[in-house]
Amino acid sequence: MAESVYKIIELVGTSDVSWEDAAKNAVETAGKSLKNLRIAEIVKLDMKVENGMVTAYRARVNLSFKYEPRD
């Protein structure tokens, strides 16, 4: 098995609907510009509150992808 190196970045996704959608938005948006995504770990969930009402869900996600150095 060849050795591999992975980079981990932190993202915050948002949604008006749910934490699941917030996490999905973060990963899918990153996937538009990053290749070889591997693992997404939810590290924190929170909500935006205005006038006593929840207005948005936020998910902080650690996302790993395979590091491929330029030749």
Write the pLDDT tens digit of every residue in 13-66.
999 999 999 999 999 999 999 999 999 999 999 999 999 999 999 999 999 999
- The pTM (predicted TM-score) of the whole model is 0.85
Tokens for 11?
A: 């993202």
Domain 10-66 fold is: Dodecin subunit-like (3.30.1660)
Residue 22 has phi, psi (to 5 degrees) of -60, -45
- Band (67; pLDDT cuts 50, 70, 90): confident
Tokens for 6?
A: 């992975």
The pLDDT tens digits of the residues spanning 30-45 come to 999 999 999 999 999 9
Q: Domains of the chain: which residue ranges?
A: 10-66
Q: CA gyration radius for the chain? A: 15
Is pLDDT at 2 greater than 80 in this prediction? no
Distance CA 29, CA 12 (A): 11
Distance CA 45, CA 34 (A): 23
